[in-house]
Copies of this chain bind each other. A is one copy, B any other.
Amino acid sequence: MLSLSDRVAGFRMLAREGQEEVFFSLTAAEQADLVSALPAGERRSWVRLLDPDDAADVIQAAAPENRETFLSLLDEGTRKDVTALLAYEEDAAGGLMSPRFARVRPDVTVDEAIGYLRPQTRERAETIYYAYVLDPDQKLLGVVSFRQLFAAPGKAKVRDIMATDVVTIPETMDQERVSQIFAENAYLALPVVDETGKMKGIVTVDDIVEVVQEEATEDIQKLGGTSALEKPYLQVGIIPMIRKRAGWLSALFLGEMLTATAMGYFEKEIARAVVLALFVPLIISSGGNSGSQATTLVIRAMALGEVRLSDWWRVIRREVAAGLGLGLILGCIGFCRIMVWERVFHTYGAHYQLVATTVGASLVGVVLWGTLSGSMLPFLLRRLGFDPASASAPFVATLVDVSGLIIYFTAASVIMSGTLL
């Protein structure tokens, strides 16, 4: 990995064309770092290359003390646009949108519209697909694609060829929901409107690819039990990396300490029947694994909009059935394993049938419980206003471990009472 100053030195050795290519392939954070490291005189030309939405991203990614400087490098018009964009939350549709789009009046002809739009296409990259038809109050009346303009008779009115059933995005909509809308339909761009129906900008599909990647990465990292890294893996320093991971790991560890307490509670049973201890890892990990499965499936289905809060009852019914089925499968395998081992190795003592029954029955209970808690936890978290993806596999496993121990030792004390216990 080159240091920033080495990379800047390398960058400055390139021809302008190569520099531009490198510059546009960087992430917003990298662009911010690079521009900050350039001599003051060279910064302006780079910042001004950016469209307002990209410039806003760079400023958001820059160190707080550099933001004013960045803003001051922009030309008047762009600065206004960027300042407006910076007022949106980064994850809202408003924060994604470009305020530059092609607008036409409903009563001009196709030829007039083309004549008016043509010079704009030279500079405004993001306006090419659609022209938006606005009334004098900037309210959105309809949309006409460039292709339609191109193909329509020159004398027709824009009003007569425009589509009026336009899908619009409220400016406060979460970017995850915006990406779902793009994924469901092959839109190239969608208009963003405020609550009065005034058009504020457009979101284009190429920005959505990045959003989808980012959101998936965030969910995956949370599911794995880390805070989201926010930078590529190899670029995160060792200390911040440990910090991102230690938080969750320590929290899970503190939760997991309850297992020591629970085990302590059953210490006498273990002392009397050490054979019980042998299956503790097997039992609790089965609960954890079935919980991971359930939570992962539900969290992803929520992120894709396939499952909503109101579906909780349907999900419970499905997961009870799945949990019972899976529990019975593992229970049978566990039961048979002990019976076979006993025949072959004679390891589990005189009461091996009781041991096998205890393990088998506990597995049904633990897997059912793991599946249910794994599938319901994301609902609970979302209901409470948290990100459901925080119900990570390790989190669910930790929760299920303690209850798994209780299920196991309770089953043991019922089944073995009077014999081993």
Flag if A401 contacts B207 (CB, 8 Å): no
- Determine whether A229 belongs to the interface, using a CB cutoff of 8 Å to chain B: yes
Flag if A260 contacts B241 (CB, 8 Å): no
Flag if B330 contacts A250 (CB, 8 Å): yes
Which residues of chain B are near A329, meaning CB under 8 Å? 242, 246, 249-250
As a 0/1 sequence over residues 257 to 290 of chain A, the CB contacts with chain B under 8 angstroms (1 = contact) are 1011001100100110011011111101110111
Flag if A246 contacts B325 (CB, 8 Å): yes
- Determine whether A300 belongs to the interface, using a CB cutoff of 8 Å to chain B: yes
Flag if A242 contacts B288 (CB, 8 Å): no
Flag if B296 contacts A226 (CB, 8 Å): yes
Flag if A118 contacts B150 (CB, 8 Å): yes
Which residues of chain B are near A259, meaning CB under 8 Å? 281-282, 285
Flag if A246 contacts B326 (CB, 8 Å): yes
- Determine whether A292 belongs to the interface, using a CB cutoff of 8 Å to chain B: yes
Flag if B292 contacts A393 (CB, 8 Å): yes
Which chain A residues have a beta carbon within 8 Å of chain B's beta carbons? Answer: 24-25, 118, 121-122, 125, 128-129, 146-147, 150-151, 179, 182-188, 205-210, 212-213, 216-217, 219-221, 223-226, 229, 232-234, 238, 241-242, 245-246, 248-250, 252-254, 256-257, 259-260, 263-264, 267, 270-271, 274-275, 277-282, 284-286, 288-290, 292-293, 295-301, 304, 306-307, 311, 314-315, 318, 321-322, 325-326, 329-330, 333-334, 337, 347, 367, 392-394, 397-398, 401, 405
